[in-house]
A and B are shown apart, each in its own frame.
Chain A
């Protein structure tokens, strides 16, 4: 890294605000995904003005720049794929304003998702997007990735809860879009920037909508002996016009892994469980819960349990929200995929995933937001065996391609990042991608902001890197990419 740049950054932020020693940088080469990429320095702005200066410096020294929240992302969005400066927003973590009456809050990007909900809980409000990492992930990161979560089904994803943004553009200007009003005049730019995976601007302030906590919540656990019965239940619930607040499925393999850790009461001998939640006014919630229980039984649920208190409800959710981590107990390296299909295709898709797994010699666990058809197949592999790893990647790809065939998409909520850029051509035509690139180039003309993300690198082959913990090396594996479907 250019010494002058480093010197200027230190001058701006102090020694405490810049990391550049190799031993520190090694701790910013990872996030929650299997990707690896190391920056050349990490900076901690304390205020918006710092971010403006950092962007100016990145331009002057032609050095890439990447924003980072808590580093819990699952597609490598916060990694410096082409080196450069990582801007950690972790210290810009103040809640600037809470407007209880109007259900609005203005926060800095480093505020932790769950901390905002905690801060407004006394008024019966919360910030609705609830990714599984909500106890650690930041709102800035949620905005960049347009994070979802189990309650997306009824409450929508992050973009539905962001009303305004203050951003530093890659060219250095400070702009504000949207505002506190529900539908700001002019173009709906929030919709464009939320979910842009940190490639269009660095967000320095977020105005969010706060949502009233429901009057009543009913959480049901339905236990099945056949996976098909569970998936068909999901299709039928929505066909009846009921929209649950959440509808999650864990298959037998996954729930056994979870149960060993959480003891949520998932029956170990079952093939699948559905975790369904309805909320709203007391009478409506009860009515819907009863209807859902009926549908579950009609479709062969051997048991339908309704959580009788807050504690039991928390326990069931703890089981779900800790599911991926619980899998880590079985195998230190696993690959969580993220695909979307129309929910009517669930039974068929799950059968196919099972078939693909068997064919490739993998046991694949399934855990997903069944209500909106967002799948998370989990493939366990041993990172020390590079052949096995390559096969895991190609298996995952086969699954994603099947999702596309079913009319779905390559990612539901984890983002494209550096994980799925090479899969984009399977879903979009050249013209589609060219349009998206034009948008990026308009705002990020020099390509210095979060380079190497979303769009295929165009090398004709995908490069996947994964960390193998034993030898500390990254296994670089290159595999042939067939022509786009």
Chain B
């Protein structure tokens, strides 16, 4: 046969022999997990980045293969590897598509832990990551302080001046500025430690998980969640010493930070027994439900397994608010609202927690509300935690497609189940002038209540 012969395995080995690196001990993708991938490829068309670029390296199958190759010392943990792992949204749509039950989310987070440990990012990037994951998110006082400064910027007229100039466009920040959340006048922090009584007969007693950034940007949503729970016969306790769930840190590979936050939350919610720990953020819920995973890896040999067991116990009590209400059954009276809405699945609700029907059931339960499904509702909107800030161009491409599909339904309201998705979709509605309003499922329920 003409042409050059293919590389033999020995040649391949030689090719990489000089750059053998592999993963280091501790938090790392394990053989038992990645070898579950049988490379059948059923995940490809479910993956947002593969759908954009059609490159194996940016597909779930290809990313898992890269992890395996690094683990086996056939591929260097270099910039190329980091790029492809960074570009993953961690939306976990591939988990829904996977017939072999590969826990991709776990794998990619562990790969990121290796990157965080063994790859030297540029100095600014390191500084920002350190500040955000280790200082800002771990301490509510920092969040409040920065939020107050931003609130001043937004409300003093300073923002209007900056936007009037071309500064943002010059430094390439104009789209990111659209994503910047509006800081609340009043923060949710003041509700911590309070108990909100059930209306009518008490049907359940729940603890509310308030989130971190949500406490300064989604106070209204949190208040609405409490109102809806109360109206449906739930006594709502907001434990005082709760912290960020650790999702953003875990997704970024900063697992020690995530573990520390998990320990604090486990303590804060363990003081008394609740029927459930309820959250309105699908991203947080997904992590809260998987706390045990954080403690399954990276443990020193003689360290106890107590944390892992406590985490599993904690996770069993966690419910997404849509899941909880759907199981409990709505008992509150709701007024009729003649509304056409469409629903965007939040990835960490659908793919992370496998909850598809609950939010749809709640939306349909509101008299007069018509739910019109959008094409590809199960595809990520591009928000993906901090992805829209770190990989803005890709995120915006996904958002454009999302808004096209959302608009095609003719629904004036897009309903979703996660604050991050709400910010992204709101920016999308503005950038693509679809004129659509974006609400959380519980906000829609709340509207039906408050005007009863």
Contact = CB atoms under 8 A, between A and B. Distances in A.
Contact of A329 (B16, B36, B46, B57): B36
Contacts of B200: none
A182 B71 CA distance: 54
Given A32-B39, A82-B3, A115-B45, A26 B75 contact: yes
B419 to A, nearest CB: 30
B154 interface: no
Contact of A135 (B16, B54, B97): B97
Interface string B1-35: 11111110100110110000000000000010011
Contacts, number: 159
A326 B100 CA distance: 5
Nearest to A58: B3
A329 B32 CA distance: 10
A418 to B, nearest CB: 12
A72 B36 contact: no
B41 interface: yes
B196 interface: no
Given A261-B101, A329-B36, A81 B65 contact: no
B35 A332 contact: yes
B310 to A, nearest CB: 28
A365 to B, nearest CB: 14
Contact of B81 (A23, A64, A80, A328): A23
Contacts of B73: 472
B385 interface: no
Contact of B36 (A39, A80, A332): A332
Contacts of B65: 26-27, 30
Interface residues of B, number: 48
B86 interface: no
B318 interface: no
A72 B41 contact: yes
A1 B7 CA distance: 11
Interface string B420-441: 0000000000000000000000
Nearest to A85: B3
B308 interface: no
Contacts of B54: 44, 88, 90-91, 93, 110
A446 interface: yes
B44 interface: yes
B247 interface: no
A145 to B, nearest CB: 14
B3 A62 contact: yes
B4 A31 contact: no
B69 A26 contact: yes
Contacts of A72: 40-42, 44
Interface string B43-86: 11110000000111100001001101100111110101100000
A221 to B, nearest CB: 19
Interface string A107-149: 0001010110000000000000000010111000000000000
Nearest to A258: B99
Contacts of B75: 23, 26
B199 to A, nearest CB: 35
Given A23-B75, A451-B1, A31 B6 contact: no
Nearest to A110: B54
Contacts of B1: 64, 82, 447, 451-452
B249 interface: no
A471 interface: yes
Nearest to A39: B6
Interface string A283-316: 0000000000000000000000000000000000
B158 interface: no
B98 interface: yes
B38 interface: yes
A366 interface: no
A133 B42 contact: yes
B66 A23 contact: yes
A469 B45 contact: no
Most buried by B among A40, A110, A324, A472: A472
B20 to A, nearest CB: 11
A19 interface: yes
A64 B3 CA distance: 6
A422 interface: no
B38 A136 contact: no
B38 A70 contact: no
A22 B15 contact: yes
Contacts of B98: 325
30 contacts: A2-B4, A22-B16, A23-B69, A24-B56, A24-B80, A28-B56, A30-B39, A38-B6, A62-B3, A70-B41, A72-B40, A72-B44, A82-B3, A82-B6, A114-B45, A133-B40, A136-B42, A136-B45, A261-B99, A322-B99, A325-B38, A325-B101, A326-B99, A328-B36, A332-B37, A334-B38, A448-B2, A452-B1, A472-B73, A473-B9
Top 4 closest pairs, chain A to chain B, by CB: A325-B99, A472-B72, A328-B100, A90-B54
Interface of B: 1-7, 9, 12-13, 15-16, 31, 34-46, 54-57, 62, 65-66, 68-69, 72-76, 78, 80-81, 97-101
Given A88-B54, A135-B42, A469-B35, 5 more contacts: A32-B39, A63-B4, A70-B45, A72-B44, A329-B36
